[in-house]
A = this chain, B = another copy of it.
C-alpha cells in the first residue's frame, strides 16, 4: 500500500511514450517534407485500408468523432490525397477514396514509420515487440469497451445503441 501513485506506472509510461513518439514522428515527417500532421497521416493510412468507406465508418475505425475526421479530410482533400465522392446509394453520404497522388505519400509515411520504430525499439527483442503490440491491442479493445459503457450511461440525445 504505497500511499502514492508510481510515476512509472503503466499508464504514465504509456502516456510518456505516446507523447514522445508523437514528437519524434512529427519531426521526422517535417524533416521528410511530407507536410502532414500525425493525425492526418494516421487518417490517410486508415483510409487506404478502407478505400471507398463512408466517413462515419472511417471515424469509428479511427476512434474519433465524425467532425474530427471531417476536418482532417478537408486538409487531405485540399492537399489532393483523398476524394469525397457522393454515394450513389445515399445522397447524404460521401465515400472516401485515396487519389493516385496519395500512393507516394503513403509509402513515405510507411518509410518514416518503419525507420522510426526501428530506432525506438532498438534493444528490444523482436518477440517482445510483437508481444507488446498484441497486448496493446488487447488494451485498446478494453478501452473501446469502456468507452461504449460510458457513452451508454451518458445522457445524450439519440443515444443509438
Q: Measuring CB to CB, which residues of chain A are less than 8 angstroms from any residue of chain B? A: 3-5, 7-25, 27, 30-31, 33, 35, 38, 42, 45-46, 48-49, 61, 63, 106-107, 109-110, 113-114, 116-117, 119-124, 128-129, 131-133, 135-140, 142-144, 146-147, 150, 155, 157-159, 161
Set of chain B residues within 8 Å of A13, measured between Cβ atoms = 133, 136-137, 140
Chain A, interface SS category: helix
Instruction: Name the contact of A24 in the complex, choosing from B7, B18, B23, B147 (C-beta under 8 A).
Output: B147
**Copies of this chain in the oligomer:** 2
Closest to A103 in B: B3
Closest to A16 in B: B140
A135 to chain B, nearest CB (A): 5
Residue in A24, A110, A135 with the greatest tally of chain B CB atoms within 10 Å? A135
